[in-house]
């Protein structure tokens, strides 16, 4: 058995597309491959996409990868290459605005990783920080917010 420490470096962490790539690579080998979060001890079979996604490994998460089998060294080398290459995704550098204009609307564009519909609460981000807070919309603001939502769908 061999082991190696890996760090999730992609900005989006070990999300669905990255996990799918990891599982495809892992399944090319005969060896048993396991991933373990160093902070929680939670482990996953690297050949199971659901197991990998359940790790909820965000960017910066440290993992211990272990391989056991006839091609264990090659398997860990392939995983190491995948992690070092950030799963083939660009490493976006986000630079903060030095003097953000006040009261300007900020639009965020998400990265879709699968088809479907998402239903959930909406949280607002405050200013140019990563602070997220809950906000109540008054009944008189509902029509305006619905129009903004419909407008966003058209983009």
Catalytic status, residue 5: no
CA distance 59 to 133: 22
44-54 burial, b if ≥16 CB within 10 A, otherwise e? bebbebebbbe
Strand partners, 4: 65
Helices (H), the chain: 16-26, 49-54, 72-84, 142-154
Q: What does the angle CA 31 – CA 113 – CA 14 come to, to the nearest 5 degrees?
A: 45
Task: Tell me the catalytic residues.
Answer: 15
């Amino acid at each position: 058995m061999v082991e190696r420490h890996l760090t999730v470096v992609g900005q989006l962490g070990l999300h669905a597309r990255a996990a799918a790539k990891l599982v495809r690579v892992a399944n090319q080998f005969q060896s048993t491959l396991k991933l373990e979060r160093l902070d929680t001890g939670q482990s996953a079979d690297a050949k199971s996409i659901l197991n990998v996604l359940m790790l909820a490994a965000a960017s910066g998460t440290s993992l211990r990868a272990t391989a056991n089998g006839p091609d264990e060294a090659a398997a860990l080398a392939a995983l190491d290459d995948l992690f070092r290459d950030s799963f083939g995704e660009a490493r976006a550098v986000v630079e903060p605005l030095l003097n953000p204009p006040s009261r300007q609307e900020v639009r965020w564009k998400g990265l879709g990783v699968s088809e479907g519909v998402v239903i959930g609460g909406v949280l607002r981000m405050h200013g140019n920080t990563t602070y997220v807070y809950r906000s109540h919309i008054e009944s008189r603001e509902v029509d305006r917010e619905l129009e903004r939502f419909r407008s966003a769908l058209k983009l």
